[in-house]
């Protein structure tokens, strides 16, 4: 009989996921406030470039520049983030 949901062993290392999340939060905290805000709004709240720029009263090009700097800083701390995402 097969249980609903994934096999517990197939889910991966849950403690490792908590550790990775903690590392990511710490890395985000090291970013300048505006850069951190842009990254969080884009990737955690899934807002568009235009929405973020309007919310922060900055130009879309400034928003994209802040985002690029933030992502580059995070990638330098997490080399696995440099791999293309399966979006």
Distance from C-alpha of 14 to C-alpha of 58, rounded to nearest angstrom: 39
Residue where the block lists tokens 């400034």: 62
The vertex-55 CA angle with 26 and 66, nearest 5°, equals: 50
Which pTM value belongs to this model? Answer: 0.70
Q: What is the pLDDT of residue 54?
A: 97
Q: How does residue 24 score in pLDDT terms, banded at 50, 70 and 90?
A: confident
What six digits make up the tokens of 25? 């939060």
């Amino acid at each position: 009989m097969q249980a609903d949901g994934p096999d517990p062993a197939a889910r991966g290392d849950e403690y490792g996921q908590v550790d990775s999340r903690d590392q990511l939060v710490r890395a985000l905290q090291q970013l300048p406030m505006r850069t951190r805000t842009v990254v969080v709004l884009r990737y955690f709240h899934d807002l568009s470039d235009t929405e973020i720029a309007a919310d922060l009263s900055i130009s879309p090009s400034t928003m994209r520049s802040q985002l690029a700097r933030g992502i580059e800083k995070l990638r330098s701390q997490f080399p696995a983030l440099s791999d293309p995402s399966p979006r």
